[in-house]
């Protein structure tokens, strides 16, 4: 186990006349034994970051420290890391057993010890029956398991996994996800997983680093990134289906501030905890998750309108509405409702579950310094 620190890490690829800023001043402080996910859309610099940690990619600027030791110039094999990359090739003529043991043999570990270690890893990953196979005989999912075994066998201080579940689908993927989490509690290496799947990151990681275009957007626990997204990008990326976001204006009525849509379809009193951050007659982006909107009867509602689409998905129902040029929807338990298009409906937004963002920067409003 070891602490892993990325300090002002930068990667610029030179492409003909063009420079690609793949990683921009990334700072990340991962504790001993922590499970961290690098999450973001394709091309945001996740693999590049992982490859720099592994020593497979030269660092343009910045430092990488493992267990307090700067490893910038260390050879990959001297960094005490285990790697499982998406397309990490195995040696085709060698059996799975020999592929897994390759580095141990090269490192002079005794045959007997190798056997013990492989048996343990094989059991953890449920690949005992594959040890005599050649790589060509394995399915995509089996290859990924073997890759993880190969990474773990060296009992690394830092384990790096790049989209390790990408070739699996549906139930197998979910099962393997649970197994990886279990594996982590067994071996306790500081682990970095790269994924573009927010659910995978949420399920696995102690903390998630959300990256957009090479830049860190937020580094926090699943609870923090879900409940307190620091900007609109994180708000939209975490949570499936994503947060509803619409443009609103602030107006004052009888001494009280309200958020309103342009044609007054919504009139929602600015909650007390936001009063100090918003100003009168300004535009904001108003976010609320579908599960934080309920269907109500009576007079205590946030918007009264008609259903534009109603979907019954068994466990839940989705009520879509149109608000001027914008749409939003609510998710409610399916036992409660049976609506159809055009039915009148009253929706209530959960007071303490709204998120307000700056309309141009997308920053969470509490973080924006107000001009005096």
Residue with smaller CB distance to ligand ADP, 53 or 225: 53
Least separation in angstroms between CB 261 and ligand ADP = 36
45 interacts with ligand ADP by CB under 6 A:
yes
18 interacts with ligand ADP by CB under 6 A:
no
| Residue 168 binding target from ligand ADP, Mg ion, none, CB below 5 to 8 Å by type | none
Among the residue ranges 40-48, 102-110, 153-161, 324-332, the one whose residues contact ligand ADP (CB under 6 A): 40-48
Least separation in angstroms between CB 26 and ligand ADP = 11
Phi, psi angles (nearest 5°) of residue 142: -65, -40
Distance CA 325, CA 304 (A): 16
Alpha helices in 260-361 (DSSP H): 272-275
Contact 55, 76 (CB under 8 A): yes
Contact 210, 238 (CB under 8 A): yes
The single-letter DSSP state of residue 328 is E
Among the residue ranges 15-23, 139-147, 218-226, 326-334, the one whose residues contact ligand ADP (CB under 6 A): 15-23
Distance CA 278, CA 285 (A): 11
Collapsing DSSP to helix, strand or coil, 126 comes out as coil
Residue with smaller CB distance to Mg ion, 86 or 179: 86
Of the candidate residues 42, 263, 281, 360, the single one contacting ligand ADP (CB under 6 A)? 42
13 interacts with ligand ADP by CB under 6 A:
yes
Distance CA 365, CA 354 (A): 11
217 interacts with ligand ADP by CB under 6 A:
no
CB contact set of 204 (below 8 Å; sequence gap of 6+): 35, 37, 177, 180, 181, 184, 193
Of the candidate residues 6, 22, 30, 47, the single one contacting Mg ion (CB under 5 A)? 47
| Residue 42 binding target from Mg ion, ligand ADP, none, CB below 5 to 8 Å by type | ligand ADP
Distance CA 296, CA 302 (A): 10
15 interacts with ligand ADP by CB under 6 A:
yes
The CA-based diameter of the chain, rounded to the nearest angstrom, is 82
Among the residue ranges 13-21, 77-85, 103-111, 348-356, the one whose residues contact ligand ADP (CB under 6 A): 13-21
Least separation in angstroms between CB 54 and Mg ion = 13
Distance CA 300, CA 304 (A): 10
Residue with smaller CB distance to ligand ADP, 51 or 184: 51
The single-letter DSSP state of residue 353 is G
Collapsing DSSP to helix, strand or coil, 119 comes out as helix
Among the residue ranges 24-32, 38-46, 106-114, 295-303, the one whose residues contact ligand ADP (CB under 6 A): 38-46
Residues in touch with ligand ADP (CB under 6 A): 13, 15, 20, 22, 40, 42-48
């Amino acid at each position: 186990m070891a602490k892993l620190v990325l300090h002002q890490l930068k990667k610029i690829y030179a492409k003909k006349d063009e420079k690609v800023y793949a990683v921009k001043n990334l700072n990340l402080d991962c504790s001993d034994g922590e499970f961290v996910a690098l999450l973001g859309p394709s091309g945001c610099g996740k693999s590049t970051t992982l490859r720099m940690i592994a020593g497979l990619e030269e660092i343009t600027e910045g430092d990488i420290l493992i267990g307090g030791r700067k490893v910038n110039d260390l050879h990959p094999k001297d960094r005490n890391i285990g790697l499982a990359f998406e397309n990490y090739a195995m040696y085709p003529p060698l059996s799975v057993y020999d592929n897994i043991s390759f580095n141990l043999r090269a490192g002079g570990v005794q045959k007997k010890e190798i056997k013990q270690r492989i048996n343990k890893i094989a059991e953890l990953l449920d690949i005992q029956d594959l040890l005599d196979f050649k790589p060509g005989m394995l399915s995509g999912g089996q290859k990924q398991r073997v890759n993880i075994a190969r990474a773990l066998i060296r009992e690394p201080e830092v384990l790096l996994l790049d989209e390790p579940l990408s070739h699996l689908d549906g139930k197998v993927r979910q099962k393997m996800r649970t197994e990886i989490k279990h594996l982590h509690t067994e071996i306790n290496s500081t682990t970095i997983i790269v994924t573009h799947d927010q659910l995978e990151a949420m399920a696995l990681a102690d903390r998630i680093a959300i990256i957009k275009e090479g830049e860190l957007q937020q580094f926090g626990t699943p609870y923090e990134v879900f409940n307190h997204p620091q900007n609109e990008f994180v708000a939209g990326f975490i949570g499936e289906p994503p947060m509803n976001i619409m443009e609103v204006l602030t107006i004052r009525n009888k001494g009280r501030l309200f958020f309103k849509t342009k044609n007054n379809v919504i009139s929602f009193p600015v909650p007390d905890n936001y009063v100090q951050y918003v100003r009168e007659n300004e535009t904001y982006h108003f976010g609320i998750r579908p599960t934080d909107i309920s269907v109500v009867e009576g007079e205590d509602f946030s918007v009264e309108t008609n259903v534009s689409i109603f979907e019954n998905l068994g466990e839940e129902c989705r009520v879509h509405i149109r608000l001027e040029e914008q749409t939003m929807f609510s998710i409610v338990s399916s036992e409660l409702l049976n609506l159809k298009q055009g039915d009148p409906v009253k929706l209530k937004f959960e007071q303490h579950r709204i998120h307000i963002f700056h309309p141009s920067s997308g920053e969470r409003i509490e973080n924006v310094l107000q001009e005096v």
